Amino acid sequence: MEHTLHGDEEISTITEALSHVLERSVSDKVLPEERSLERARNSLLTGLPDEGLGFQATVEHMSSDIAPALNQSSLSPNYYGFVTGGATLAAAVADHLVVHYDQNVQVHLPHETIATEVEDRALELLCSLLYLDPGRWRHRTFTTGATASNVLGLACAREHVVARAAARKDYDSANLLEEVGNVRVSIAEVGILRAMRNAGLEDVQILTTVPHSSLSKAASLKDAPHRFDLELLGEELEKPGVANIVVISCGEVNTGLFATNGMEEMARIRTMCDVRNSWIHVDGAFGLLGRLLNSSDYDNIRRGCEGIELADSITGDCHKLLNTPYDCGFFLSCHRSTASQVFQNPNAAYLNAVSATGIASPLHVGIENSRRFRALPVYATLSAYGRSGYRDMLKRQVRCARAVAQFLLGHGAYELLPERVAHTSERDALADVYIIVLFRAKDETLNKDL
């Protein structure tokens, strides 16, 4: 069969096929023409062929029909639909190697492949990029994106706050688990209802400002919904019978605004959460790289990123500002033992490889047993461009966004949003602009028609 080629012949065949597809799909237009979309729809198979089309016919189908109907989101600077960001050259080359070598990065097998060590090193480099101590953030893994990372964060947080609530109330969890010497109340082992009942809890609530769609309840200022109302937060944390997870937005998804404003505010939230045994999770998919900015022009952005090292867990997206191929997110936590409690996968014998290197098999720290080698493009792009390369890239994006915002501020027909944020001068207004610019027409009739 054609798919059984090996070695140089396989590489040559794949290279030739890719070149053929890419040459046929080159376009100077960001979006495909309607006729290309219609042709592609009509060409799609309506049923599974018994014999198959064959390799060459399938390559021709992809190059002639499907590729021309794909948008140029990652190939053009003028696509504004999603924040996939495109890929750096180093990351793109690495992603082709990911397909070619097709590694299993779920089990740490140090005598068979270096894949899991590349993943661990890539995550260490990410910590370094963000000025986070890798030695503290021992629970770390790659995910499909921010939503999956937030799910990991909430799962770990729920396990942690319920166990802490039980300890605070001096419950004897050995009776709950019916295991002598086990002093934990674990959702992972006994289920949410039984664990909460024995911990004396009626609810686990998530407190945040303007939440991502994967998060929950707001505890924000009425006149600045992206910022925390610390008085309201304190009241929520004091509710009896409730365990709390505080989620801080480090760059809100729609506005780019930050939920906190400096180390002092973050430290205060940390203290409040420590008193009530609450977990802090930072959703930094949009804003984390603001920690790289190092001049006074970006003081407001840097303050929004200060203190995230005080959190218990952090979500980030590599396929946004790191410019790796879609999809790739990451998750960091300070509580590796909690990760093992929540995600331990002990059942399949072939998954139980033991290592003395200190690198945990990724299957014990996340929710996926099957993952592609997302770490290699991350490792490659960080190796190629370093911290200064990414700092320069981010500065260009911020300057571009601020130039657009400045144009809008001086235009009679448009107004910059959010309007609820009061500024005393144009300079003051631009200082809050990160990489997202929102605006609307002053003519309400026009706004209704848009």
Cα 128 to Cα 67: distance, rounded to the nearest angstrom: 38
CA of 403: how far to CAs of 79, 81, 436, in Å?
18, 20, 12
pLDDT bucket at 13, cuts 50 / 70 / 90: confident
The DSSP string of 224-236 is EEEEE-HHHHHHH
Residue pair 222/254 in contact (Cβ under 8 Å)? The answer is: no
Instruction: Return the structure tokens found at 196.
Output: 């909460």
290 Cβ contact list (under 8 Å, min separation 6)? 250, 251, 258, 298, 301, 302, 304, 305, 394, 434
Please compute the mean of the pLDDT values over residues 93-121 and round it to a whole number. 94
Closest CA to 206 of 151, 261, 236, 245: 245
**In what helix (H) or strand (E) does residue 153 lie, and over which residues does it extend?**
helix 146-168
The DSSP string of 178-244 is T-TT-----HHHH-HHHHHHHHT-SEEEEEBSS--TT---B-EETTEEEEE-HHHHHHHHT-TTEEE
436 Cβ contact list (under 8 Å, min separation 6)? 254, 255, 256, 286, 401
**Could you identify the residue written with the tokens 């661990």?**
120
pLDDT bucket at 179, cuts 50 / 70 / 90: very low
Phi first, then psi: give them for residue 150, nearest 5 degrees.
-65, -35
Cα 440 to Cα 450: distance, rounded to the nearest angstrom: 10
The pLDDT tens digits of the residues spanning 401-445 come to 999 999 999 998 999 987 656 667 888 889 999 999 999 999 999
Please say if the pLDDT value at position 210 is more than 70: no
Please say if the pLDDT value at position 217 is more than 60: no
- Topology at the third CATH level for domain 100-383: Aspartate Aminotransferase; domain 2 (3.40.640)
pLDDT given for residue 175 in this prediction: 46
Phi first, then psi: give them for residue 249, nearest 5 degrees.
-90, 110
Half-sphere CA count of 52, side-chain side, radius 13 A: 8
25-34, 38-47, 425-434: the lowest-pLDDT one: 25-34
Domain boundaries, the chain: 2-81, 100-383, 398-449
Phi first, then psi: give them for residue 251, nearest 5 degrees.
100, 85
The pLDDT tens digits of the residues spanning 45-68 come to 999 999 999 999 999 999 999 999
Instruction: Return the structure tokens found at 421.
Output: 């944020």
User: Which position has the higher pLDDT, 351 or 281?
Assistant: 281
The pLDDT tens digits of the residues spanning 242-299 come to 999 999 999 988 888 899 999 999 999 999 999 999 999 999 999 999 999 999 999 9
SS3 label, residue 44: coil
Cα 368 to Cα 378: distance, rounded to the nearest angstrom: 19
| Predicted model pTM | 0.89
